[in-house]
A and B are shown apart, each in its own frame.
Chain A
Amino acid sequence: MVNLTSPIPRPDPMLPRPFRVTRAIRETADVVTLELEAPAGPPLRFSPGQFTMLYVFGVGEVPISISGDASKPERLVQTIRKVGRVTEALCKLRKGDAVGVRGPFGSSWPLEQAKGGDVVLVAGGIGLPPLRPAIYHILRHRKDYGRVYLLYGARTPADLLFSEELKRWQHTLSHAPGASPVLVTVDRAEGGWDGAVGVVTGLIPSLHLDPTRTTAMMVGPEVMMRFTLAELRKRGLPEAKLYLSMERNMKCALGFCGHCQLGPHFICKDGPVLAFPQVRDWMTRKEV
């Protein structure tokens, strides 16, 4: 089994550090990216795939994946979708506002293990931000990887995140002139949408893959990931090379409270990035 433990040390994990919002970027109607800086102390070093606990003072704390570049730890970047009280408060933060940060926590994407082979990244909806640090890493070490594909599914064109970067990645992630490494599809399209319409799994058959040397990493709603896993297994990818980022009800982020337990795993501590064989028997069980 691949060791997914992050090499980054974690000082005093229960104490939130105060950070300041240096920039708030509205990505879509309900998604905001916050750029944060720590006024004091060392930068928050993290590994791609990890998350932090963001604390809005007086409101509450939620787990949010880091969506920034691990090589630039002085600027902590987190992308938040408004789904509840705390995330709504996070999406309302403006430049200069304070936020508490604990972490980083959890496991990270197997980017070292994937070196020398092809990589398929699959994101659905708000699943793209947790994969973005992995994309930055691959771009910085592009020669270490073979073909790289990013498959991204969203609800509508208006829900697509990081549109400008998606266009850039079409060229920068490419392994050869004319290749299209970024494939985007939406569930519903009206008006001027000029891309694919359909589910993200529908993009998999068109990929040129050598299944024996391909690693897949995916984030999205669990149902989407279940079908993605099935499609990739159909293409011959071994189960041990399929990685997914899970989300459960993370509270303490340290494996103490048990809120995020999935069978024998605490998603906050053993995950969020897990190899498929670790969760294969648990993903379809109800009430776990």
Chain B
Amino acid sequence: MSKASLERYLAQHPFFHGLRPKDIEWLASLAQPLSYEVGDYLYREGDASTDFYLIQEGLVRLEIHTPGRGDLTIQTLGPGEVLGWSVMIPETRKTFDARIFQATRLLAFDAETVRRRSEEDHHFGYELCKRFSRVIGERLQATRLRLLDLYGQPH
């Protein structure tokens, strides 16, 4: 992807949409395109949160290993979704494994660099925090819906 098309992709992506052109340009320069094969781990439980990711293609499973039950899938994330919302909090560690379930292409953004720019430019940092808050809210809402067990037998 050329620099111009990457900037266009980021500017149109719902997560980054509305950021200033200079922020988009900066994020495009930071983005690292990565590819993973089925079965690869993007990260494992306990790893430092070093990046956040924008999935372009493929499917990633968030899993946790439970003795006697194996790897339990918490959620799957696909194209267009953001993975790694905890990067805005320094020194966090991953609470789940992220395993590639379908060959995946994604963009990785270095967390420390993003946090540093956020400290230097609070407008950028606030805009990013708003976007991560939306992601966190959506994940919380989805989790609550699943807790309701809506498809279970009525009592």
Contacts and interface: CB of A to CB of B under 8 A. Distances in A.
Interface of A: 30, 83, 124-126, 153-155, 159, 185, 187-191, 193-199, 201-202, 205-206, 220-221, 223-224, 227
B136 interface: no
9 contacts: A83-B154, A124-B150, A125-B151, A187-B146, A190-B72, A190-B73, A197-B75, A220-B150, A221-B151
Given A190-B69, A198-B75, A206 B80 contact: yes
Contact of A199 (B72, B101, B142): B142
A206 B81 CA distance: 9
A212 to B, nearest CB: 18
A187 B149 contact: yes
A126 B80 CA distance: 29
Nearest to A196: B76
B63 to A, nearest CB: 9
B14 interface: yes
A70 B72 CA distance: 41
Given A197-B74, A206-B79, A206-B80, A159 B69 contact: no
Interface in B105-155: 141-142, 145-146, 148-154
A125 B70 contact: no
Contacts of B61: 197
Majority SS at the chain A contact face: mixed
A3 B102 CA distance: 44
A141 B154 CA distance: 37
A199 B144 CA distance: 10
B80 A154 contact: no
Given A190-B70, A205-B80, A206-B80, A196 B59 contact: yes
Contacts of B141: 227
A155 B152 contact: yes
Nearest to A200: B145
B145 A189 contact: no
A223 B75 contact: no
Nearest to A127: B151
B84 interface: no
A126 B151 CA distance: 8
B151 A153 contact: yes
Interface centre among B70, B79, B148 (most CB of A within 10 A): B148
Contacts of B145: 199, 201, 223-224, 227
A150 to B, nearest CB: 16
B150 A83 contact: no
A83 B153 contact: yes
Given A190-B72, A205-B14, A206-B78, A198 B150 contact: no
A12 to B, nearest CB: 32
B74 to A, nearest CB: 7
A125 B150 contact: yes
A187 B151 contact: yes
Contacts of A189: 72-73
Interface in B55-89: 59, 61, 69-70, 72-76, 78-81
A220 B148 CA distance: 14
A194 B141 CA distance: 24
Contacts of B81: 205
